[in-house]
Chain A
Amino acid sequence: MAQDRITAPLKLLIIGGSAGSLTVLLKVLPALNYNVSLSIVIVVHRKNTPDSTLADLLASRTKIHVKEIEDKESLLGGTIYLAPPDYHILFENNGAVSLDFSEKVNFSRPSIDVAFESAAEVYKERLTCILLSGASSDGVKGLAEVKRNNGNFAVQDPSTAQAPYMPQQAVNKLHPNTVLTPEAMIGFINGL
Chain B
Amino acid sequence: MIEDENIDILVNDVFELYGYDFTEYSKASLKRRISRLYTLDKFPSFAELRYKIKNDPGYLKRFVEEITVNVTEMFRDPSFYLALRNEILPKLGTYPYIRIWHAGCSTGEEVYSMAILLKEAGLLSKSIIYATDINPDVLEKARVGIFPIANMKLYSENYIASGGRLDFSSYYSANYDGVKFDESLTKQMVFSAHNLVSDGSFNEFHLIVCRNVLIYFDKQLQDKVFQLFDKSMGKLAYLALGSKETVKFSSIHLHYKQVGKEKIWRKTE
CB proximity to B under 8 Å, residues A67-92: 70-72, 84, 87, 90-92
A101 and B26 contact, Cβ closer than 8 Å, known pairs A72-B219, A114-B32? no
A118 at the interface (CB under 8 A from B): yes
Contact of A100 among B79, B216, B246 (CB under 8 A): B216
Q: Which residues of A contact B244 (CB under 8 A)?
A: 70-71, 84, 87, 99
The answer to whether B215 touches A101 (Cβ under 8 A) is yes
Tell me if A191 counts as interface (CB < 8 A to partner B): no
Bound Cα distance from A90 to B179, whole angstroms? 34
B233 → chain A, closest Cβ, in Å?
A: 22
Q: B47 interface residue, CB < 8 Å from A?
A: no
A145 to chain B, nearest CB (A): 8
Query: What's the count of A-B pairs with C-beta under 8 Å?
Result: 64
Determine whether the beta carbon of A118 is less than 8 Å from that of B32: yes
**Bound form: Cα–Cα A122–B31 in Å:** 11
Give the CA-CA distance A101 to B33 in the complex, in Å.
12
Q: Can you name the residue of chain B whose Cβ is closest to the Cβ of A70? A: B244
A113-B212 Cα distance, complex, nearest whole Å: 21
Task: Please determine whether B215 and A100 come into contact, CB atoms closer than 8 angstroms.
Answer: yes
* Residues in A whose Cβ lies below 8 Å from that of B23: 1
- What 0/1 pattern do residues 65 to 106 of B give for CB contact below 8 A with A? 000010100000101000000000000000000000000000
Q: Which residues of A contact B137 (CB under 8 A)?
A: none
B1 on interface, CB distance cutoff 8 Å? yes
- Cα distance, A103 to B73, chains bound together (Å): 12
Chain A, interface size category, equals 20 to 34
Residue from A91, A101, A145 in contact with B28 in the complex, judged by beta carbons closer than 8 Å: A91
Complex CA gap A121/B3 in Å reads 9
Expressed in whole angstroms, the Cα–Cα distance for A50 and B78 within the complex equals 9
Tell me if A98 counts as interface (CB < 8 A to partner B): yes
Chain A, 142-161, CB within 8 A of any chain B CB: 145
Q: A92-B27, A93-B27, A118-B28 are in contact. Are A98 and B215 (CB under 8 A)?
A: yes
A102 at the interface (CB under 8 A from B): yes
A101 pairs with B71, CB closer than 8 A: yes
Question: Which of A1, A90, A122 contacts B8 (CB under 8 A)?
Answer: A1
Q: Is B204 an interface residue (CB 8 A)?
A: no
B157 at the interface (CB under 8 A from A): no
- Complex CA gap A145/B1 in Å reads 10
Q: Does B242 contact A (CB under 8 A)?
A: yes
B135 touches A (CB below 8 Å): no
Interface string of B157-186 (1 = CB under 8 A from A): 000000000000000000000000000000
Chain A 1-26, CB-CB to B under 8 Å as 1, else 0, gives 10010000000000000000000000
> Which A-B residue pairs are the 3 nearest by beta carbons?
A90-B28, A102-B69, A101-B212
List 26 contacting pairs A-B, 8 Å CB cutoff, sorted by A: A1-B27, A50-B77, A50-B79, A70-B246, A71-B215, A71-B245, A71-B246, A72-B215, A72-B219, A72-B222, A84-B244, A90-B26, A91-B28, A92-B28, A93-B4, A98-B26, A98-B28, A98-B215, A99-B215, A99-B244, A101-B212, A101-B215, A102-B33, A102-B71, A118-B31, A122-B28
Beyond the given pairs A1-B8, A98-B28, A114-B32, 7 more chain A to chain B contacts, judged by CB atoms under 8 angstroms and listed by A's residue number, are A84-B244, A101-B215, A102-B32, A102-B69, A102-B71, A103-B71, A118-B32
B interface residues, Cβ below 8 angstroms from A? 1, 4, 8, 23, 26-29, 31-33, 69, 71, 77, 79, 212, 214-216, 218-219, 222, 242, 244-246
